[in-house]
Amino acid sequence: MKADLKGLDASETEQWAVSQGLKPYQGRQIRRWLFKMLASSFDEMTDLSKDLRKDLKDRVIINLLEIVNTQQSKDGTKKYLFKLHDGHFIESVLIPEEDHSTICISSQAGCAMGCLFCSTARQGLKRNLTVSEIIEQVIQVRRLMDAPERLTNIVLMGMGEPLANYDSVIRAVGNIIASDGMNFSTRKVTLSTCGLVPQIKMLGRDITVNLAVSLNASDDKTRSLLMPVNRIYPLTDLISALRDFPLPNRRMLTFEYILIKGVNDSEQDARRLADLLSGLRSKINLIPLNPFPGSDMSCPPMDDILRFQDILVENHYTAIIRKGRGSDISAACGQLSGGYNLPHPGHRG
């Protein structure tokens, strides 16, 4: 079986090189080509001998994902459909901003969390992604960009629940932020979770990353209806874990709140949310529900959304209404389905 070096850290790559009869520095050279130079073949690794490059072709796999479709939104957002080696599909989204770009990547094919507002959840969990499959989304999209240096921000908000694939996600983020890896700033990498409390506690100890929590309700009854995970880890447990989450200076927790007409969008909901998050260093992203086929939920009127925001601002929160980028190509929050034809409603989650 061919080695998958993108799943290894720097030390493991050197150990692999030695096990293959190479020098440690040659392992570092290969790692540099993979993560910094974004090499798509060994032919590009010109500081390795021709004989070694030929030999490595038989020993190491470079490209794990196949791009089968690309769609571009009228707002410039691009959605990439990737095929995995076993025939499953995932999606990633590139979001251009004025002075940079952000990529939203997936951590699982499908999702087991069952959130009612999310298209990915309706297909169920197919499988966890490997370390390399997570990283490869960033690498392949960067290769396709005219100005790859503009890609500075990564959000793990695509298909799947990142903390349900904990070990692979942590290793992938490790290579993404490593100085000898992809060298992204930890300030520019954000992980979104539906609220797996034990893993949140582990995350704070294991790695420095921005944390976003998909909250979507301010009381247990509503949240349990929308998000089955709340029946296992209710709001009291979740908020307690977040109060203990280590935040570097000047960083905040992000709370994502998808507004659904008649479900969680009342003035009472807004006031209860303000009370719930009291004392937490946080900002709130208000996300008007993005529709998907088969869903019977709808987005509130803008007047209701603005009133909800006003109440949070009056309570001294930073509350931002997030525009649904890429909604016309089903690339907005909650719309990713991995290209599956779903018989009934089935993250960008």
- Respond yes or no: is residue 91 known to be catalytic: yes
Q: What is the DSSP letter of 344?
A: S
**Nearest-10 crossing angle of helices 267-276, 302-314:** 30
282 assigned binding-site residue: no
Nearest of 129, 8, 138, 25 to residue 61 by alpha carbon: 8
161 assigned binding-site residue: yes
CA distance linking residue 340 with residue 275, whole number of Å = 40
22 assigned binding-site residue: no
Q: What is the DSSP letter of 3?
A: B
Non-local CB neighbours of 229 within 8 Å, separated by 6+ positions: 113, 114, 115, 194, 195, 196
216 assigned binding-site residue: yes
CA distance linking residue 294 with residue 343, whole number of Å = 8
Pick the catalytic residue: 91, 133, 136, 256?
A: 91
153 assigned binding-site residue: no
215 assigned binding-site residue: yes
Nearest of 32, 49, 54, 194 to residue 112 by alpha carbon: 194
- Respond yes or no: is residue 333 known to be catalytic: yes
318-321: strand order across its sheet: 66-72, 78-83, 89-96, 101-104, 151-156, 189-193, 210-214, 253-259, 282-288, 318-321
Pick the catalytic residue: 104, 194, 299, 333?
A: 333
Chain position carrying tokens 């499988």 = 127
299 assigned binding-site residue: no
115 assigned binding-site residue: yes
Binding residues for [4Fe-4S] cluster: 111, 115, 118
Which residue ranges are tagged as binding site for S-adenosyl-L-methionine? Answer: 160-161, 192, 214-216, 290
Annotated binding residues: 111, 115, 118, 160-161, 192, 214-216, 290
- State the catalytic residues: 91, 333
